[in-house]
Amino acid sequence: MTLCFATNNKGKILEIKTILGKKFEIQSLQEIGCHEELPETKDTIEGNSLQKAEYVWENYGVNCFSDDSGLEVSALNGAPGVYSAMYAGPTCDTKNNIVLLLKNMEGKEDRSALFRTCITLIINGEMHQFEGTVKGKILKTRQGEKGFGYDPIFQPEGFDNSFAEMTLEDKNKISHRGTAVRKLVEYLTKL
Ligand code: IMP
């Protein structure tokens, strides 16, 4: 079966190709002729994930899946959540997003947080969603250089290291994305 992964992130495509093996041919957006930005205008992670997969299905008629993730911080009422990538506004980048999050967490006792991924799969018009979460806490300072995004300030529950101090392999074993991808793969391999 051929499936389009509705993302422009080459790293994510490579990762899923490695996991799924030869039974599934994974196509990028470019390979199906989609060169425009996918819409991501919903206010939930599930909503954005669905919106991207629906866009590809409705405009290109190919079986596909998409993912959307975010970091939900309890003391900030779930922020940055669906807005994780653009938290610091016009000047948003990884560094500024972390600086703002640490500033907004100053003086907060409850540092608990949750990373969440929602994958939406559409096969022949039928939709399925797969969720992955990982609980943890927001550290007071950056720790580690690996990974991306908020990895240096997120310490998963039951571990002494931040995500940015773990190998990608170890992070994937417990991460929100790793869990959601494993659920997707389990579903696909039963087809
Ligand atoms: P995406 O939907 O997977 O592109 O994730 C949206 C944003 O959430 C990213 O730009 C990061 O800021 C943040 N994020 C998602 N997953 C992770 C992760 O595993 N580590 C750190 N930050 C993440």
Contact in structure between 184 and 19 (CB atoms under 8 Å): no
The pLDDT of residue 11 is above 90: no
pLDDT for res 163: 97
Number of domains making up the chain: 1
pTM of the model: 0.95
Q: Which residue's CA is the closest to the ligand 1 atom numbered 20? A: 151
pLDDT (average), residues 152-157: 98
pLDDT average, residue stretch 107-125: 98
Q: Please, is 184 exposed, middle or buried when counting C-beta atoms within 10 Å of its C-beta (0-12, 13-18, 19+)?
A: buried
CA 78 to chain centre: 16
Q: Which two tokens stand for residue 174?
A: 């417990």
Index of the ligand 1 atom closest to the CA of residue 177: 19
> Which of 48, 50, 84 gets mutated to test ligand 1 (max ligand atoms within 8 A of its CB)?
84
| pLDDT tens digits for range 162-190 | 999 999 889 999 999 999 999 999 999 89
Long-range contacts of 11-16 (CB under 8 A, 24+ apart): 12/67, 15/181, 16/181
**How far is Cα 141 from Cα 179, in angstroms, rounded to an integer?**
27
pLDDT for the residue numbered 39: 96
Q: Calculate the average pLDDT of the chain.
A: 96
List the CATH number of the domain containing 39.
Answer: 3.90.950.10
- Which domain range does residue 56 map to? 2-189
Give CA separation, 123 vs 120, 128, 129, in Å.
10, 8, 12
